[in-house]
Structures are given as C-alpha cells and as structure tokens.
Amino acid sequence: MPALIIGSGYGGAVAALRLTQAGIDTHIVEMGQSWTTPGSDGKIFCNMLNPDGRSFWLRTQTDQPVGYFLGSPANKSISKYTGALDSESFAATRVYQGRGVGGGSLVNGGMAVTPKRAYFEEVLPSVNSNEMYSTYFPRANTGLGVNNIDQAWFETTDCYQYARVSRKRANDAGFATTFVPNVYDFDYMKQEAANQVPRSALASEVIYGNNYGKKSLDKTYLAAAAATGKLTISALHTVTSVASASGGGYTVEMVQIDTSGNTVTQKTVTADRVFFAAGSVGTSKLLVSMRAQGKLSNLPSAVGTGWGNNGNVMVARAGLDLTGALQSGMPAMGIDNWADTNGPVFAEIAPFPAGTETWINLYLAITKNPNRAAFSFNSTTGKVDLSWKASQTQPSIDAAKRVFDAINSKAGTVYRSDLFGVNKTWGDDFVYHPLGGCVLNQATDNYGRLPGYDGLYVVDGSLIPGSIGVNPFVTITALAERNMEKIIATDLQ
C-alpha cells in the first residue's frame, strides 16, 4: 500500500486528509474502536457520573483524574472493554490518552488555543513562525471547526457560573483571565441550556466522550478524508512492529483485538510510507522498541528523548462561592499569568460536573517546567519505560502555588486536599498533555522525516519538545499541516 498511518488523532487525521486529497490511497491503523454504535442505553459514550466499560480502555475499575472525594476513593468497577480513555501507567506518572478513531479529540475538553508566538518561537526555533501564524494556525483552526463563545451568553448562563466565580477570584488577586476558543459547538450548547436538544456538555459528558455537540476529528478531518474515497481505517488494530522490508518500503505488523482486548488475529502488511501518529507516548514507544530490537536500528539517539508533561498540574480550591449544579463540561476560560517570569502559568478553569453543588473550583495549570524525561526499552519486561520522576513535577507545583496561594489569600479560601488522595493538594501524578519523545529537528529533520529511513515520518505530538504553554492540539494540528504540505510537495510528487 502507498501510505499507512499509525493512529487517528490530530497528527494522523491531518496526514490522512492531505494524503487522500493528493490522490494517495491511505490506510489508518487505529488501536481503539470506531465510536459509531450506540450501547443499550442508546448512547455511544457514557457520562462521567455513571461510567461503564465505555469509559476506560481495558480496565476493570475506573481511574479518574480526580480519584477521591472527601478523601475516599471515588473509582468504580466497570466491565473490561475497549473504552475511550486510557490511563497508561509509568513509574511516576499516568498518561491519559484517547483511544478510538479520533484519538484524543474524543475525550478532551476541546480547548483550542493557539500558543503565544514568542513562546512558540522559543520552543520550536527551527520552524518559520511567520508561516505558522499566517498560514498553518489559521488552516488548523478552520479544519478543526474552532468557535468562540457568545460572551453575553457566558455572562448569564447557569452552566458557566463556575468559570465566572473563578474569574472574579483571579481578577481580585490581580491575575488576568481570558476567553478560550473551543471545538465544541457553542450554538449547540446554547440550545442544550434552553432544553431544545439532547444534552452533552451540559450532561457531564467530557473525558469519556461526547454524544453531541463536539467537533471531534471523526466529524472534521477524518470525515473529509473519508469523503475522498481514498481512506481505509482498520479500527481495533494495534501496530506492534515496523521494519525495513527487503524489497523496499516497510513491513508493518499488527494485532487485531476484540472489544474485550482478546487477540483475534495477527496481520502483516507492506507500506511504501509509514506515518507515525500514535501520539507522544505511542510513537515514542514504537520507535524506541524498534531501535532496541534491531528493526530500525539506525534511528538517531534523540529518538525517545525530550519528553515533557507540558507542565501539567491540577489543583482545586474550596470556598463558599456557589459554582453551580449545572456545569458545562467544556472549559471556556483560563487564567493567563504566562508573562510572569518567576514562573509562567496558564490555568484552565476546569469544570467539576458532579450534577450537584460542590463549591469546588478546579484548575488544570500549564506551567513552564524545564524538566524532561526519556523512553527506554526494557529488555527484561519487553516494555518501554519512561524515566519521569515524581520530583520533576515540583517546578510546576511551585509556579501554580504562587498563583493559587495569592488567589486563596485574597479570597479567604483554601485548597481542597481530598480530591487527589488523602491530604493531597496537588494532582501531580498524571498528565493530559504528553509532548515530545521524537522532537522536531532533533530526532527527525525539520519536517518530521526520520533520518536514514526514506518514507518514515512522525506527525504527532511527539514532535513538540515537552512544552507549548497552552493546551496542545491546535499546535499539533498546525505543525502537521505544515509538515504534510512539505512532504507531499517534495517526497510524493
């Protein structure tokens, strides 16, 4: 086959659209399922209040990011199923990732943030930022279907009470706040609030998928790619090996599983070109394993390095502000303290959609944490380890603490210490924004080509060196647009 893409998240979806539009028959191999069939309740995805097997990837118990309430474990038993959200454990961190056709777009908060230009230039100095900000960021925003909230509606609707009170407390303490674009259709959300359509964002649906309203990749890039007639998707297929084929091209081995995770069959195909789009963790794991096992032994030593968690740390405040029983699961606002050179912070004002008043103000802080980690193949276990240590999260906590100490002090509020463990204030042992592992212009050339292997490319979040200062999918998409344009023009004509 001419082109095989491993994974169907942002990088994979952009690659699929641009390859198929160029007339190239393209095959996506995706380990998760195609989320098109409703369950017995008539819904494709389950909500956060009543998680079932659809919530998590092959687990018998949920592993919620906020795993405790009032100090007691809040996780529930579920049936083992190929659910939408994976929490993948390494020694000192858990990495949350979407599983299914659409990757992370199925489970994320939809926050579509273009990074600050100066920081983008600092992080990716080899990329022409004029081109990015004039061409590829706008192209990505259009392709993703990004829209902005009606600010007058935001000020009055019950479902953003939580964001308004967090904004007030931040502003009172001297911090700026900003509206954040989203790929959730805000017009649909307005109709939800008016009880005119079935509820999704207003029905505690987010991290296990949204049944309505969200423009996930299966509705945007992947739908457009499928419309060319040149796209094939093999869902519930996990790529396990990529090696140079003797007659040219690459031999790709994969395992097909059923929805309980049992192996159905193993398959081997040959592809002229392989695009790695399995996400920061998935792509890094595959490439590091292939190098160690001698299947792609000439990959550079930089492959597997430069991984970071985008400075992620979660925290919650407790006070007497009413945050609302009805909360939109789609964040629409952030606290922007990135200009503070003592410790930049961009904090998403996150919902806590419990369906009842909780007085909880929740935040996902993105900080400028300089620490990085590396993936390595463990020949004893046959698995890939990630060297991230718990202590490496400390700079993120320090930066976030300066902001939230100040907010608490001004508001007379305190941290909640019952949500991430017993007497544990910081949600510092998990990540929503894994980045790096196959960094642009280090592990690859300046367009994602893997050196020494004609026809192997990396197109996903592993290209971004560990930090981007905002929620990352717009950057991943725009960089994929830039790189695919170059690759199609120069390698595929």
Has 27 been annotated as catalytic? no
Residues 220 and 12: their CA atoms lie apart, in Å, by 13
107 lies in the site for ligand FDA, by CB under 6 A: yes
Q: Strand, coil or helix: what is 425?
A: coil
Phi, psi of 447 (to 5 degrees): -125, 10
| Closer residue to ligand FDA, CB minimum distance, 271 or 411 | 271
Cα 248 to chain center, whole Å?
34
Q: CB under 6 A: which stretch of 29-37, 72-80, 131-139, 154-162 binds ligand FDA?
A: 29-37
Query: 384 and 289 in contact (C-beta within 8 Å)?
Result: yes
User: 50-89: which residues touch ligand FDA (CB under 6 A)?
Assistant: none
Other Cβ atoms closer than 10 A to 40: 6
Query: 105 and 145 in contact (C-beta within 8 Å)?
Result: no
Closest CA to 203 of 165, 159, 155: 159
In the list 47, 62, 82, 108, the residue contacting ligand FDA (rule: CB under 6 A) is 108
10 lies in the site for ligand FDA, by CB under 6 A: yes
Has 433 been annotated as catalytic? yes
97 lies in the site for ligand FDA, by CB under 6 A: yes
| Closer residue to ligand FDA, CB minimum distance, 244 or 280 | 280
Give bridge partners of residue 90 from the DSSP assignment.
Answer: none
Residues 54 and 441: their CA atoms lie apart, in Å, by 38
Q: CB under 6 A: which stretch of 7-15, 133-141, 195-203, 414-422 binds ligand FDA?
A: 7-15
Give the count of alpha carbons within 13 A of 148, CB side only: 8
Active-site residue identified among 155, 348, 357, 485: 348
Other Cβ atoms closer than 10 A to 99: 27
Residue with tokens 């240590």: 389
Min dist CB 210 to ligand FDA, Å, is 12
Judged by CB under 6 A, the number of residues near ligand FDA is: 38
277 lies in the site for ligand FDA, by CB under 6 A: yes
484 lies in the site for ligand FDA, by CB under 6 A: no
Q: CB under 6 A: which stretch of 108-116, 287-295, 355-363, 396-404 binds ligand FDA?
A: 108-116
In the list 35, 45, 81, 96, the residue contacting ligand FDA (rule: CB under 6 A) is 96
Query: 34 and 100 in contact (C-beta within 8 Å)?
Result: yes
209 lies in the site for ligand FDA, by CB under 6 A: no
Kindly state the tokens that stand for 242: 């990529």
Kindly state the tokens that stand for 238: 């996990």
| Closer residue to ligand FDA, CB minimum distance, 314 or 411 | 314
- Binding residues for ligand FDA, rule: CB under 6 A, are 6-11, 29-32, 96-99, 103-104, 107-111, 207, 238-239, 277-280, 282, 286, 432-433, 460-461, 471-473, 476
Q: Which residues are catalytic?
A: 348, 433
